[in-house]
């Protein structure tokens, strides 16, 4: 964590957006750094180590996707939350697969953004690691014991269902793309339809209403997110 509190680097070429984020996030006790271009952001990251980056993709010089590629390519693991008006699913998937931690589409609600920032910071906090027991609403997942409970009732999972749920717990609150999940579980991209089948059976076992899931949320065309704030 940076001296003087948690520091967020806001990278956006629109002064009005930077001003809105600075005003709102300062009110949540974050320290705000600003950059109006991709190169300015890279230069600042060479000097400073903010705790997270809020990155617009449509920058005037270096595209935001290239900024992510360069940061991850040189081993900088700071959480990156993409803020963009690009609604296309391929752009979101590419940003996440390049190493972004989350993607929020403009216009966005500030309460949602603050929740996403907190989730990204929790997951990447130095030395924190993954909590042994995850809880969200009536769902409890004990990673050490391999125990899953809903409202105090033990739920039996197959090995593959457990592997997928464990992965979601380890990245709770952030989006995992289909590709990332398939790579982690099967070692290849595989068939997304197989993943959808396993997620459907997981929901049938964990969700009060599998058709309106509370915990395993779908990011349409992108992947899944395990909800942390229910």
Query: If you average pLDDT over residues 105-120, what whole number do you get?
Result: 87
CATH 1.10.10.10 in the chain is located at: 133-226
CATH 3.40.50.2300 in the chain is located at: 7-124
pLDDT at 230: 60
pLDDT at 2: 43
pLDDT at 189: 63
Distance, in Å, from the CA atom of 15 to the CA atom of 70, rounded to the nearest integer, reads 24
Class of domain 7-124: alpha beta
pLDDT of residue 196 exceeding 50: yes
Looking at per-residue confidence, does 200 or 88 come out higher?
200
Query: Any idea which fold 133-226 has?
Result: Arc Repressor Mutant, subunit A (1.10.10)
What percentage of the chain has pLDDT greater than the value 90? 56
Looking at per-residue confidence, does 51 or 173 come out higher?
51
* pTM confidence score: 0.72
Confidence band of 106 (pLDDT split at 50, 70, 90): confident
Pick from 63-77, 99-113, 178-192: least confident: 178-192
pLDDT of residue 15 exceeding 80: yes
């Amino acid at each position: 964590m940076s001296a003087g509190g948690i520091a967020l680097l806001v990278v956006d070429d629109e002064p009005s957006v930077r001003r809105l984020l600075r005003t709102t996030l300062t009110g949540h006790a974050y320290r705000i750094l600003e950059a109006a271009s991709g190169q300015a952001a890279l230069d600042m990251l060479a000097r400073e180590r903010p705790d997270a980056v809020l990155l617009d993709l449509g920058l005037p010089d270096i595209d935001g996707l290239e900024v992510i590629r360069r940061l991850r390519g040189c081993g900088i693991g700071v959480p990156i939350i993409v803020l963009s008006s690009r609604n296309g699913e391929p752009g979101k998937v590419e940003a996440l697969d390049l190493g972004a931690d989350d993607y929020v589409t403009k216009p966005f609600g500030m309460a949602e953004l603050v929740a996403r920032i907190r989730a990204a910071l929790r997951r990447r906090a130095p030395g924190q690691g993954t909590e042994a027991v995850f809880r969200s609403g009536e769902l409890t997942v004990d990673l050490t014991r391999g125990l899953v409970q809903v409202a105090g009732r033990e739920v039996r999972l197959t090995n593959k269902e457990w592997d997928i749920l464990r992965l979601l717990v380890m990245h709770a609150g952030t989006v995992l793309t289909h590709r990332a999940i398939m790579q982690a579980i099967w070692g290849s991209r595989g068939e997304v339809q197989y993943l959808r089948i396993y997620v459907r059976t997981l929901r049938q076992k964990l969700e009060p209403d599998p058709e309106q899931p509370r915990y395993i949320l779908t990011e349409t065309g992108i992947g899944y997110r395990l909800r942390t704030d229910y």
